[in-house]
């Protein structure tokens, strides 16, 4: 995964932002902005405060960059910048900025694969129903894998992309509620429990297909089961 440097460096210079972008110029950020909520920063950015836009970019850049970089092989920076512009132009201030950013990122990811395969036989197929392996994407994951979950890096790109996104966001340290996950992925909130169960079943099937010793696979399955149960309970409690 490409490095974007330290937080201090990112505050001093936006990475490859276009000339007309609010984040393109070197902006000295007042420390007071550290205490601003992301919603306040979004409003400030829309009012022309470049420092507010810059701070918003700094806070969320790594997450959005990683979202794309773990799934596609090119145009990552372009999609990241487009996602932030979508947020600037279209996001509701009633929705958490992190949720809006990931919603727009998901749309752009799906559109990317639709465009990439416009001449392929499955051009009309919903990319969420195909795996990264089938889509020719970057076979990776956003999940920070501990030793007992290393096999996920091989197995998760083999399940449908929509299910991969669901599991990645559910297991993310940045907790989301089931309703927020549904918004990000464009799904009905009432179907989330069922979808998590289906994604888990598909992932366990792909784990079983890996050429690994059974005890290693079983240890991965147990750890995954515990992690997903804990994450699902947390997401349900979030409201």
Residue range 98-128, pLDDT digits in tens: 999 999 999 999 999 888 765 455 556 789 9
Structural domains in the chain, CATH included, are 9-116 (1.10.1740), 121-239 (no CATH)
pLDDT at 16: 41
Over 80: is that where the pLDDT of 140 sits? no
pTM of the model: 0.83
pLDDT at 21: 54
Contact 60, 53 (CB under 8 A): no
Contact 142, 67 (CB under 8 A): yes
| HSE-up (13 A, CA, CB side) for residue 198 | 11
pLDDT at 153: 85
Mean pLDDT of the chain: 82
Q: Where does residue 207 fall: left (phi above 0), alpha (psi -120 to 50 degrees), or beta otherwise?
A: alpha
Cα 106 to the center of its chain, rounded Å: 7
**Three-state SS at 93:** coil
pLDDT at 144: 64
pLDDT at 150: 80
CA-CA distance, 216 to 212, in Å (whole number)?
Answer: 7
Mean pLDDT of the region 192-219 = 92
Q: Could you write out the DSSP letters of every residue in 144-184? A: ---GGGTTHHHHGGGSBHHHHHHHHHHT-SS---HHHHHHH
More confident residue, 120 or 57: 57
Nearest to 26 by CA among 46, 47, 51: 51
């Amino acid at each position: 995964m490409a490095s974007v440097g330290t937080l201090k460096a990112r505050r001093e210079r936006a990475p490859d932002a276009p000339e007309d972008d609010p984040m393109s110029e070197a902006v000295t950020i007042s420390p007071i902005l550290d205490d601003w909520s992301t919603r306040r920063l979004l409003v400030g950015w829309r009012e022309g405060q470049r420092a507010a836009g810059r701070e918003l970019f700094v806070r969320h850049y790594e997450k959005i960059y990683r979202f794309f970089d773990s799934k596609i092989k090119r145009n990552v920076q372009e999609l990241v910048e487009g996602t932030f512009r979508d947020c600037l132009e279209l996001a509701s201030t009633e929705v958490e900025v992190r949720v809006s950013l990931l919603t727009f990122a998901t749309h752009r990811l799906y559109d990317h694969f639709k465009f990439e395969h416009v001449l392929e036989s499955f051009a009309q197929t919903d990319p969420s129903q195909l795996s990264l392996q089938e889509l020719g994407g970057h076979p990776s994951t956003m999940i920070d894998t501990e030793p007992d979950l290393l096999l996920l890096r091989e197995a998760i790109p083999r399940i449908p992309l929509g299910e991969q996104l669901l599991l990645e966001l559910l297991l993310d340290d940045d907790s989301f509620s089931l309703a927020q996950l549904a918004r990000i992925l464009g799904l009905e909130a009432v179907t989330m429990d069922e979808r998590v169960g289906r994604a888990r079943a598909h992932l366990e099937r792909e784990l079983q297909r890996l050429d690994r010793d059974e005890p290693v696979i079983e240890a991965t399955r147990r750890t995954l089961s515990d992690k997903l149960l804990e994450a699902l309970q947390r997401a349900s409690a979030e409201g």
